Chains A and B, each alone.
Chain A
Amino acid sequence: MKDEEIIICRCEDITLKEIKDAIHKGYKDIESLRKYLQLSAGPCQGKTCIPLTEKILAQELKKRIDEIAMPTTRPPETPVPFGIFSKAKK
């Protein structure tokens, strides 16, 4: 399969090719890639695509996976409606 046919972030529809291109444009860490491509901004909040992207980064930069820094996890863990939080505060 060609790189442009492999979807890495299925929530935001981002392909392997887009990720590799971005890395070679100079977005060489997970946070910069996330922000540049809007990677991991979908409903699963990156649970699927971030681990994959780490592997791709490691491969492309010829680094070990533990040298690729993990992004901060941002709450909430799963999407929650505004209404739920406002009920807690009455």
Chain B
Amino acid sequence: MTGEAKLIVQGLSHHYPDEYTGESVHALDNIDLQIHENEFVAIVGPSGCGKTTFLNIIAGLLPYREGRALVDGTEIRGPGPDRGVVFQEHAILPWRTVKRNIGHGLEIRRVPKAEREKTVQEYIDLVGLSGFEDRYPHELSGGMKQRVAVARTLCADPVIMLMDEPFAAVDAQTRITLQDELNRVVMATRKTILFITHSVEEAAFLGDRCIVFSRRPGHIKTEVKIDIPREDRVWKDMVDNPKFTEARDNILRLVRSEVTNDVDS
């Protein structure tokens, strides 16, 4: 954790204008957040609290007016290759093979073919897709598609990787495998990651820190530190790791209180 934070967010709020009623939807309220190099920050919060809104602003896909957001010291203005995004739905291109999807970022940067193929092969091996290089996405399972999406983002080598519920659409077993794999990948690549999820378990398993959002308008309610070394984070050992269960129950309580409040009001 050396030097300046990779992501700095100060007093960020967001209102969606409503074209029909003229009233605006207050989605985010005064967010302050810093993410340092090699940190894995998970965000959880009740549905509709503004998590996707937050991520889209950081990704540059949604313009913001209130507050500041900087990546690597520069103000965010539109999307760019310094912020790689893994979307919830499959955002990989159906008309590109696995290989060409993963290398797309390098292709856009005009990296020479030989060098590109070498790098791509490394990431294909890393996410366990060897043998599927020349397949098209429709020939892959949902889990494999998300592996391609993760590898594609990694391969473009962003400053920070943004992930919006990337494993929400796969079945429970695959999700566990993908979480274990992501851990391995994070250890191998030492990426800085902002990870959004609605699964408390996932947040506690993956995050160095877990940010709990309040219900809408989303603001940061608390932050839970999960002080478990990465190499210990393997699902088969985690279930009876007291640090993990404590963090998980803690986060769950905080999120539940937000959801229950919602029902009461």
The finding on whether chains A and B are genuine partners in a shared complex, rather than unrelated, reads: no
